[in-house]
Amino acid sequence: MKKNFILGLAAISMLSFASCETDPAAEKNLASDVVEGIPTTATITLTNAPSTMATEAGELNESQIDNATLYVFNNADVLESIVPFQQTDIQTKKVTFQTTTGAKRLFVCANMNDILAKFNFKTVTTAATPTEVTKLDAFKKTQAAIANFTSITANSKFWMTNLEAQPAQETVTASGENKFMVTIGRACAKVRLSLGTGVVGSGGTLNDLKFKTKNNPNTMYLMPVYEGANYTGKQLLTPYYEAGTAGTYIDGSAQVSFSTEGGISYLTENSNATILAGKASYLEVEGIWTPNTDQILDKDGNPGAALTNNDFWRVALKSGGVITGYKPGCYNELPTTGQIGTGNEAIKYTGGKCYYAIYLQDKNAGSDQELPLRYTVKRNTLFDVVISSISGPGANDPGGVVPDPNKPVETVVSMEVNITIAPWTIANLSAGI
């Protein structure tokens, strides 16, 4: 019978993955006295590294490991060996393997054997065919397709990888114990959305809250990839980073209910050179809006009306065919032409159902001129989102929350949030709608 073990995941800040890189020249000096290529053995352990930041361990199903594979690269960044973990290795959280002396970089992928089998990784030191991956850079940038979230977040199926873009070289010697540790984390991000205590809507109430994650890229690099030489830049790169709106995006798992007690969902890694509404990751919130009595009007705009089945209409103010705002009040039936006005539109809210968009950003990650840093979603990060205010009904259909995917993310929204980023690593977010 297969046995799973629970991995203690390291608490690595999403803002510091690339900040602790080691200079390549200095690294090679560390191994300058070691004769390369002498056969020996080494042992790696998957462990929980200490952190200076608060973390959240996560649920058991988020930390279970069913399979793992070690990839060893030599001093020339050539793939030297591929070491599958056996079930006994899984149980002990370590594997001992045959290797050679010299500088090595160690990478581990867990719960990914099925996806890894599709890649043509090859341990050679000579020229390879175009489809064979032998070098470190190509290994990191191998694109893993994500069909749906079940494939990467089911029990014992959370994809896990190294969290550092360029882990430090380890020096294997002929006489030493050659014991090393590799810290891995989940290849997706996590979000917890809740309604702040005592938050009430302006002009009504919002109930039956649900959400799902949106604009999740359907492909990711196998390992974190950062810009700059030796991956020392601040900005995470992803397959769709430079794309316009041509990338393919998938929804997160099914809608999740939430209230003052948070609901949990997941996101794929996402970054973009230009922040557009059709590319940035966001939460699509659904709820039922019930206007206060003093907000309900009849078709002629007179107060004192009542709703039927909680249906109501709002008059959307438009300019150039784009909604720029709404007239005050909710009509209990289709308003008259005089109430609508020229160029505007009456929009029906069936049963009071409405939608909001909460874009995920870390205001501490970059300045106003560094929006790509602010709106980046990194692996193994938790966004803790708390709705802090609700200014009124949202859009009457999901498409209305992103009216133009080619435009920048809207800064004026009906739901406000506060966002704090930390490791699942944990990120705290407060939002208003």
Per-residue pLDDT of 107-147, as tens digits, reads: 999 999 999 999 999 987 666 677 778 899 999 999 999 98
Reported as half-sphere exposure (CB side, CA atoms, 13 A), residue 184 has a value of 31
Is residue 151 in some structural domain? yes
Q: Are residues 25 and 50 in the same domain?
A: yes
What is the 3-state secondary structure of 188-204? EEEEEEEECCCCCECCE
Q: Are residues 182 and 116 in the same domain?
A: yes
Q: Are residues 202 and 272 in the same domain?
A: yes
- CATH number at 384 reads 2.60.40.3690
Tokens found for residue 398: 């999901």
Mean pLDDT, range 166-193, rounded to an integer: 90
291-311 pLDDT per residue, tens: 999 999 999 999 999 999 999
Q: Are residues 35 and 182 in the same domain?
A: yes
End residue of a domain, out of 186, 217, 245: 186
Considering only CA atoms, which of 180, 184, 191 is closest in space to residue 64? 184
Q: Are residues 78 and 125 in the same domain?
A: yes
Q: Are residues 99 and 210 in the same domain?
A: no
Provide the residue range defining the domain that includes 320: 295-342
Considering only CA atoms, which of 91, 107, 102, 103 is closest in space to residue 44? 107
Res 54: pLDDT: 38
Q: Are residues 385 and 238 in the same domain?
A: yes
Considering only CA atoms, which of 162, 158, 165 is closest in space to residue 180? 162
pLDDT above 90: percentage of residues in the chain: 54
Residue 154: band (very low, low, confident or very high) from pLDDT cuts 50, 70, 90: confident
pLDDT of 432 above 80: no
Rounded CA-CA distance 370/275 in Å is 10
pLDDT of 97 above 60: yes
* Candidate from 193-202, 307-316, 416-425 with smallest mean pLDDT: 416-425
Rounded CA-CA distance 220/70 in Å is 19
* Candidate from 33-42, 202-211, 215-224, 410-419 with smallest mean pLDDT: 410-419
> What is the C-alpha end-to-end distance of the chain, expressed in Å?
49
Res 129: pLDDT: 74
Is residue 208 in some structural domain? yes
| 153: enclosing H helix or E strand | helix 150-153
Rounded CA-CA distance 122/316 in Å is 59
Is residue 348 in some structural domain? no
End residue of a domain, out of 159, 186, 213: 186
The domain tally of the chain equals 3
End residue of a domain, out of 186, 212, 237: 186
Is residue 181 in some structural domain? yes
Q: Are residues 170 and 34 in the same domain?
A: yes
- CATH number at 16 reads 2.60.40.2580
Q: Are residues 58 and 153 in the same domain?
A: yes
Considering only CA atoms, which of 73, 360, 115, 78 is closest in space to residue 216? 360
Rounded CA-CA distance 107/167 in Å is 8
What DSSP designation does 274 have? S
Considering only CA atoms, which of 10, 13, 49, 57 is closest in space to residue 423? 13
Amino acid identity, residue 418? N
Rounded CA-CA distance 262/249 in Å is 25
Is residue 24 in some structural domain? yes
Q: Are residues 202 and 171 in the same domain?
A: no
Res 125: pLDDT: 67
pLDDT of 33 above 80: no
Q: Are residues 32 and 89 in the same domain?
A: yes
Is residue 196 in some structural domain? yes
**CA 249 from centre of chain:** 12
Is residue 428 in some structural domain? yes
Rounded CA-CA distance 253/179 in Å is 39
Q: Are residues 326 and 389 in the same domain?
A: no
